[in-house]
Each structure stands twice: as structure tokens, then as C-alpha cells.
């Protein structure tokens, strides 16, 4: 061996050993993908969900991980860019080899990634309320379907507050448009006339609300009790509520019930003009339960900020992550097909003090709560269902979906089975 060989031999051995150790380490961890916008218009809502997942993974690792392996978070930023969601999802699955992905907020981002998860046969846990009209074998919907949020909220406004005129205001994309399509059909089925329904859409990040709020105010001056059902998403909510206050519209005049405004969106803004307005969710930070108290304490310690709040999509990730852990234990593998089969029927604690279960249609059971905004940015629960509500993938109020059910158990394994024709017309295996 010459001098150069003698010099480089130890370095080569050390480098090779390092590579082997790195490879062994990679094999000893289970990668979990986190697909949430950390920049752009949706960062106001999604950054917290990234942090929630990091906390849940950290806590699970302190318990020993799962199947004897530690979990490794792989975080990407699709930057509120809907096509980029698909690209990042493909990277997580194909390059990073993640066992499951927890992510998306808007339905347009979920629609963007859906073909990727189905093509590559991977798992997405989707934690946000959505419009329904979908059931994929590769997606577990841990947020609310319309019958777990929108329909109960309208029932509350109609029956408890006597609302007769309806403003359906939303951001211009698939979730608000489909949800409002369901709500419009539902309201008309309840005898509401077309002239008593006003529908308005604005782009993401919309900031000039003066004329729209003026139109809402005028619509509410017809002598009938009027309410706004809001599917406005992201940072557009801040100027919307500010403009309501600017034009003197109080919750007593025209109450707003929101489906995308929670504690996080209210954090850091002046909530005094908002007091009395409403939100419909399946969880509020103010819920009193031992498990919620523990979750809040863990969150504040992990994030190292006692002012940070919790919210409904965080609970959905809490439920979905724990369901995935239990399904992996049940299947004794992270392999996609085995975990899908193991997921149905898994029940884990929710934060309201009960248990949520995964249904055959890949939706979960949840309580429904109506909360009233307080001056501290928290919600006082003013109404709740008497028990858990099972998520319905297909609306009973739309002609094209009222005869459809989803059941991913074998032998049916179908996302849109028509009970009248006896045929499956969607993705099936």
C-alpha cells in the first residue's frame, strides 16, 4: 500500500461506515409526510397544523414510536399553490417514501393531490371541513362533511334564531361552491324562496369588502331575519369581519356563522366587533374535558408560547394521527393496503371527551358544536348535538348523489355505490 492509499484508507472506511449507519437509521424510522402551506394566503391557517403534527410525532416517539421504530417528520411547503401540492405530494411518496401524509386545507389542494395518492397507492389524512361529494380509498376524511357542520348550522339559525333570509358568502373554489349548492337545495326544500337566498363569491386573499358588505346590509333590510353563512377561507376573513364592524353590522342585526374561522384566525385581531357572531365546528378550545385540558397544556409547552390557541383542524389531526397509529399496530405494518383494511372501525378519543370512529366510507363520527365568539377570541358553545354524527360522503339533498353510498370494506370496496342501480361507478378495487 502506497502513502496515498494508507492516507485515504481510514477515510474511506469511515465514509463507508457513515453511509451504512445512515442507511440503517433510515430503515429504522417510519417517515410521515406533512403537506401544509407555510407561506401564501393559507399559511394563516395551515402553519399551525404543521406544528400540531410535529408535536404529535414527538409525543409518539417519546412513547417508543410504533412497531419498534421512531417516526420521522418530512415537512414540505406547497405555498398555497394548488398544482404545487400535487408535485410535493408525489415527492413525499416517491422520493421520501413516507408511510402516510397528513395535509391539505382547501378542497382545491385536496383535489389536486387526489390522483397522486390513488396512482401511487398512498394514504392522505385530510383534517378540514369539506363539501362532501367524494370518497376515495386512499383518503381518510377526519374533518366535517356538510351533515356534520353546514346542515346543523343552518338548522340552528332557522330553528333557534328564526332566520328567513340567507347570504351564502364564500371564497371562489370548489368547497364553498359545492357546500352552497347543498345548502341552497336544502333551504329550498325547507320552503325558502329563491329571492331570500343571496350567493356571493370572492377570490382568495380578497381584501376590499366595502361594496359586498353594503350589499349584505341592504339584503338584510327587507324586514326578515337575515344571516350570513360564511365559507370564506384564509386571510380574507380578517378584512371581512373588520368591514362588518366598520358598517355597524352586529351579530344581533345579521349574525354570521362561519365554517372556516376558528381560534387561530381570531388570534391577534380585535374581536370586539365580532362578539356574538358564530362558528360551527366539531371542537372548540373552550370545551371542558380532561383530555382537552391535557392537549392544550401539551400544545403550549411544545410550541413554547402560552398565547397560542388550539382549534378544530388540530383536533382532526389528533384523531387522524392516533387512528393511523392504531391501524398500523393492528396491521403490524405500514403497508398501504393493510392499513386501509385495518382503519375501518378504529375508535380513538376525541377532545370533547368521547370517542370518534372511522366509518366504512372513510369519514368519522363527530359531535357538532355551534360556538359564539367572545371578546377574548374564544368561543362559548351555545348549541351541540346530543351525540356523535357519522360523516356522510354523499349529500342526501342533491339529485345526483342522494342514492350514493361509500363502503370501502371488501367485497364492495366502492366509493360511490348506487343503491338503486346496484352499480359502482367510481374508484373500486
Judge if 180 and 271 occupy the same domain. yes
Q: Identify whether 405 is part of a domain.
A: no
**Domain termination residue (choose one: 350, 366, 382):** 366
Q: How much is the pLDDT for 2? A: 42
Mean per-residue pLDDT, 8-16 = 41
Residues 64 and 134 in one domain: yes
End-to-end CA distance of the chain: 61
Domain ranges, residue 374: 147-287+370-390
Percent of the chain at pLDDT > 90 equals 85
Residues 171 and 282 in one domain: yes
Name which of 76, 79, 422 is nearest 234 in CA terms: 79
Q: Identify whether 199 is part of a domain.
A: yes
Q: Are the C-beta atoms of residues 258 and 278 closer than 8 Å to each other?
A: yes
Question: Average model confidence (pLDDT) for the chain?
Answer: 92
pLDDT tens-digit series, residues 127-172:
999 999 999 999 999 999 999 999 999 999 999 999 999 999 999 9
Residue 95 inside a domain? The answer is: yes
Measured CA to CA, the distance from residue 257 to residue 251 in angstroms comes to 10
pLDDT for the residue 18: 39
Q: 137 with 254, same domain?
A: no
* 10, part of any domain: no
Residue 265: what pLDDT?
80
139 and 170 together in one domain: no
For residue 50, what pLDDT is reported?
Answer: 98
Nearest CA among 251, 115, 86 for reference residue 241: 251
- Condensed to tens digits (0 to 9), the pLDDT of residues 386-418 reads 999 999 999 999 999 999 999 999 999 999 999
Mean pLDDT, rounded, for 256-264: 91
Q: Note whether residue 380 is domain-resident.
A: yes
**Quick one: 159 and 273 in the same domain?**
yes
Asked if 271 and 315 sit in the same domain, the reply is: no
User: Does residue 428 fall inside a structural domain?
Assistant: no
- Is residue 9 pLDDT above 80, yes or no? no
Q: How confident is the model at residue 184 (pLDDT cuts 50, 70, 90)?
A: very high
pLDDT of amino acid 14: 43
Where do the DSSP E strands lie in 209-274?
Answer: 226-231, 256-258
Find the mean pLDDT for residues 121-128. Answer: 98
Is 181 inside a domain boundary?
Answer: yes
| Burial readout 275-285 (b: 16 or more C-beta within 10 A, e: otherwise) | ebbbbbbbbbb
* Residue 185, φ and ψ in degrees, nearest 5: -65, -40
pLDDT confidence bin for 7, thresholds 50/70/90? very low
- CATH code at position 46: 3.40.50.2300
Residue 209 has pLDDT above 50, yes or no: yes
CA 181 to each of CA 231, 248, 259: distance values in angstroms, whole numbers, following the listed order: 12, 30, 15
The pLDDT of residue 426:
59
The closest alpha carbon to 233, from 348, 344, 110, 322, belongs to 110
- pLDDT class for 27, splitting at 50, 70, 90? low
pLDDT tens string 354-375: 999 999 999 999 999 999 999 9
The three grid cell numbers given for residue 347, joined into one nine-digit string = 375508535
Question: How far apart are the C-alpha atoms of 244 and 45, rounded to whole Å?
Answer: 21
* Whole-number Å distance between alpha carbons of 177 and 224: 25
Query: Which SS3 state, helix, strand or coil, does residue 249 take?
Result: coil
Side-chain-side CA neighbours of residue 178 (13 Å): 19
Residue 6 has pLDDT above 60, yes or no: no
User: Considering its fold, how many domains does the chain have in total?
Assistant: 2
**Sequence-ordered strand ranges (E) for 109-225:** 124-126, 139-141, 165-171, 197-202
Is residue 265 located within the same domain as residue 301?
no
Whether residue 241 is found in the same domain as residue 386? yes
pLDDT greater at residue 57 or residue 27: 57
Does residue 16 form part of some domain? no
Rounded distance between C-alpha atoms, residue 295 and residue 33, angstroms? 22
Do 152 and 259 reside in the same domain of the chain? Answer: yes
pLDDT band at 110 (very low <50, low <70, confident <90, very high): very high
**Same domain? 162 vs 262:** yes
331 and 239 assigned to the same domain: no
Amino acid at each position: 500500500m502506497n502513502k496515498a492509499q494508507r492516507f485515504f484508507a481510514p477515510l474511506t472506511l469511515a465514509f463507508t461506515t457513515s453511509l451504512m449507519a445512515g442507511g440503517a437509521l433510515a430503515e429504522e424510522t417510519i417517515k410521515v409526510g406533512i403537506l401544509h402551506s407555510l407561506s401564501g394566503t393559507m399559511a394563516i391557517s395551515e402553519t399551525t397544523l404543521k406544528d400540531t403534527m410535529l408535536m404529535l410525532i414527538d409525543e409518539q416517539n417519546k412513547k417508543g414510536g410504533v412497531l419498534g421504530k421512531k417516526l420521522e417528520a418530512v415537512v414540505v411547503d406547497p405555498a398555497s399553490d394548488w398544482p404545487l401540492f400535487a408535485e410535493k405530494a408525489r415527492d413525499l411518496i416517491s422520493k421520501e417514501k413516507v408511510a402516510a401524509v397528513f395535509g391539505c386545507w382547501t378542497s382545491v389542494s385536496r383535489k389536486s393531490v387526489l390522483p397522486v395518492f390513488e396512482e401511487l397507492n398512498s394514504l392522505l389524512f385530510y383534517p378540514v371541513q369539506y363539501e362532501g361529494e367524494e370518497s376515495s380509498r386512499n383518503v381518510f376524511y377526519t374533518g366535517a362533511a356538510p351533515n356534520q357542520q353546514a346542515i346543523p348550522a343552518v338548522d340552528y339559525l332557522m330553528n333557534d334564531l328564526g332566520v328567513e333570509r340567507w347570504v351564502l358568502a364564500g371564497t371562489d373554489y370548489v368547497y364553498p361552491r359545492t357546500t352552497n349548492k347543498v345548502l341552497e337545495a336544502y333551504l329550498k326544500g325547507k320552503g325558502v324562496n329563491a329571492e331570500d337566498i343571496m350567493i356571493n363569491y370572492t377570490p382568495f386573499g380578497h381584501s376590499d369588502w366595502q361594496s359586498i358588505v353594503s350589499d349584505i346590509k341592504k339584503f338584510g333590510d327587507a324586514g326578515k331575519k337575515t344571516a350570513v353563512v360564511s365559507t370564506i377561507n384564509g386571510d380574507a376573513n380578517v378584512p371581512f369581519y373588520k368591514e362588518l364592524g366598520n358598517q355597524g353590522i352586529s351579530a344581533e342585526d345579521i349574525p354570521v356563522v362561519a365554517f372556516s374561522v376558528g381560534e387561530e384566525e381570531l388570534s391577534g385581531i380585535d374581536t370586539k366587533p365580532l362578539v356574538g357572531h358564530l362558528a360551527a365546528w366539531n371542537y372548540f378550545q373552550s370545551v371542558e374535558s380532561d383530555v382537552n385540558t391535557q392537549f392544550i397544556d401539551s400544545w403550549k409547552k411544545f410550541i413554547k408560547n402560552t398565547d397560542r390557541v388550539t382549534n378544530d383542524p388540530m383536533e382532526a389531526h389528533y384523531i387522524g394521527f392516533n387512528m393511523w397509529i392504531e391501524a398500523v399496530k393492528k396491521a403490524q405494518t405500514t403497508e398501504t393496503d393493510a392499513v386501509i383494511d385495518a382503519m375501518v372501525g378504529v375508535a380513538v378519543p376525541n377532545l370533547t371527551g368521547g370517542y370518534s370512529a372511522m366509518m366504512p366510507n372513510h369519514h368519522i363520527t363527530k359531535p357538532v358544536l355551534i360556538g359564539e365568539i367572545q371578546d377574548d377570541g374564544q368561543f362559548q358553545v351555545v348549541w351541540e348535538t346530543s351525540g356523535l354524527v357519522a360523516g356522510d360522503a354523499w349529500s342526501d339533498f342533491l339529485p345526483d348523489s342522494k342514492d350514493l353510498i361509500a363502503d370501502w370494506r371488501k367485497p364492495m370496496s366502492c366509493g360511490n355505490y348506487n343503491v338503486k342501480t346496484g352499480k359502482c361507478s367510481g374508484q373500486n378495487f
